[in-house]
Structure 1
Amino acid sequence: MLVFRPARPEEIETIRALERASAQRFVGLMDALAADEPTPASILAPRIAAGGLVVAVEDEAVVAFVMFRRVETRAYVEQLDVLPAFAGRRIGAALLDAAAEWARTAGLDGLSLSTFRDVPWNAPYYRRLGFVEVAALTPGMAAIREEHLARGLDESARVFMTRDF
């Protein structure tokens, strides 16, 4: 049975390994991204402490996670990863719902994220889940774009999306 719960500090390396395994979907499509280092523990730890990292657990194994933080009036989804063996079970959609519940409880307006425009399991997937493209970036989104550029991401291939409650 699949259980969703807040991540624990002792799971940081498990989460990093899961992110690395999930990134293998980009091999042959975006090799640099596939080879990129997962989110550092120095970022994961404060997200866990703030309640901004939810894991999906099956048979005591972490099989997916969503990481988010408040940016302006929304919960910004920083990362959503599902182990490839667990793809297609709507685990990602359920994790987004968990992030939305956190945002509702915090009095926010919805979710936001930045993703690759043309990768099938990115923007098209989020569109099916009710996200819409943003025409103009908010100051918070512009700051995130700058963070991405500093990491070497190709922002011309990315799009910001939101989903309201």
Structure 2
Amino acid sequence: MTPTLRDARPEDIETVRAIERASAQRFIGLMDALAADEPSSPEVLAARIAAGGLLVAIDADAPIAFVMFRPVEDGLYIEQIDVLPAFAGQRIGARLLDAAADTARTRGLSALTLSTFREVPWNAPWYRRLGFIDIADVALTPGLLEIRRAHLERGLDEDARTFMRRPV
């Protein structure tokens, strides 16, 4: 059965956090600090829900995946996308990104943007297969540079990351 997509609701917040925790386990042995990192806070998730920036994929009436985004300049910035490991490989993440692109288009925006790890197979290489292209560091916009600054403050290794963009 194909999961359905819908806007997240406040009652989905703890399930979304659990999905994020489960998905982070893929980083054990690769980036242990990231695997142990706390998921998005309930306050951030509630704010994204209120702003229409959190979509979930539903199977058997429960969320199994999500994409969280917010407007940054002329696009929607993908802050997080996760699929429960038991549902990986079913193109659910790709469907969620397409739904985010539809949202961007509806809002009159021109692109999806994101920042991800260059070499992790389920990160940048996966996004490239879905039509995202790397943005050269010299071409980063003020909004994306602010996101990079926030990543550095969180302790992320920005040398291992790339910003990407996909027109909608």
For the aligned pair, the TM-score class normalised by the smaller chain equals over 0.9
Q: Offset at 1:102?
A: 0.6
One-letter amino acid matched to 1:98? A
> Residue 78 of structure 1 aligns to a residue in which SS?
strand
- Residue deviations 1:57-77 (CA, integer Å, cap 9, x gap): 000121000000000000000
- TM-score, normalization by structure 1: 0.99
- TM-score, normalization by structure 2: 0.97
User: How many Å separate the matches in 1 of 2:124 and 2:111?
Assistant: 17
Residue of structure 1 in register with 2:102 after alignment = 101
User: How many Å separate the matches in 2 of 1:154 and 1:37?
Assistant: 17
**Size of the alignment, in residue pairs?**
165
Moved >3 Å (runs of 4+): none
Select 1:137's aligned residue among 132, 140, 143: 140
Percent of pairs identical after alignment?
Answer: 69
Q: Offset at 1:31?
A: 0.4
Mean Cα deviation higher: 114-123 or 147-156: 147-156
User: How many Å separate the matches in 2 of 1:157 and 1:89?
Assistant: 27
Task: Note the 1:1-165 alignment, pairs <5 A.
Answer: 1=1, 2-135=3-136, 136-165=139-168
User: How many Å separate the matches in 2 of 1:41 and 1:149?
Assistant: 22
Mean Cα deviation higher: 148-157 or 115-124: 148-157
> Residue 108 of structure 2 aligns to a residue in which SS?
coil
Across the aligned residues of Structure 1 and Structure 2, the Cα RMSD in angstroms comes to: 0.6
User: How many Å separate the matches in 2 of 1:13 and 1:61?
Assistant: 11
> Residue 51 of structure 1 aligns to a residue in which SS?
coil
> Residue 95 of structure 2 aligns to a residue in which SS?
helix
One-letter amino acid matched to 1:29? L
One-letter amino acid matched to 1:129? L
- Residue deviations 1:19-74 (CA, integer Å, cap 9, x gap): 00000000000000000000011111110001100000000121000000000000
Q: Offset at 1:150?
A: 1.1
User: How many Å separate the matches in 2 of 1:151 and 1:40?
Assistant: 14
Q: Which runs of 5+ in 2 are unaligned?
A: none
